[in-house]
Amino acid sequence: MSNETAIYLFRPDRLPTRQSFVAAETREAERLVRAVEVLEEERRELAQFQSDLTVGDETNCGLVIEIRGPLAEIAVPVNRHAPSGAGTFWSRIDRLAPPYTSVCSFGL
């Protein structure tokens, strides 16, 4: 029966150490904390935008032309059309966002 032997050469300065693992885990934990903070700030800004929404404000879908309770009527820009082909549509305010921050779902 034949037997094959492999020889591996390692450079000691290339081997990860316990300290490098701990440092990497610490950096990852800090990155996650920052990501959560950014996400919470974005959610606060979105909630503030939605609560302050008034007639004449621009949204990710178009211009607000009427507000009735939790709904807003949106005038679609001239270069786009609502799915029904109309120039306006109604959307829940909680589905609207500041302009250029997200894609319009047309209230769906």
Which residue ranges make up each domain of the chain?
A: 15-50, 54-95
pLDDT score for 95: 93
Q: Tell me how far apart the alpha carbons of residues 25 and 98 are, in angstroms, rounded to a whole number.
A: 36
For tokens 């829940």, the residue is 92
Average model confidence (pLDDT) for the chain? 91
The sheet carrying 88-92 orders its strands as 63-68, 71-75, 88-92
Q: Tell me how far apart the alpha carbons of residues 89 and 95 are, in angstroms, rounded to a whole number.
A: 13
Does 3 score more than 90 pLDDT?
no
Q: What is the pLDDT of residues 42-72, one digit of tens each?
A: 999 999 999 999 999 999 999 999 999 999 9
Q: Tell me how far apart the alpha carbons of residues 52 and 44 are, in angstroms, rounded to a whole number.
A: 12
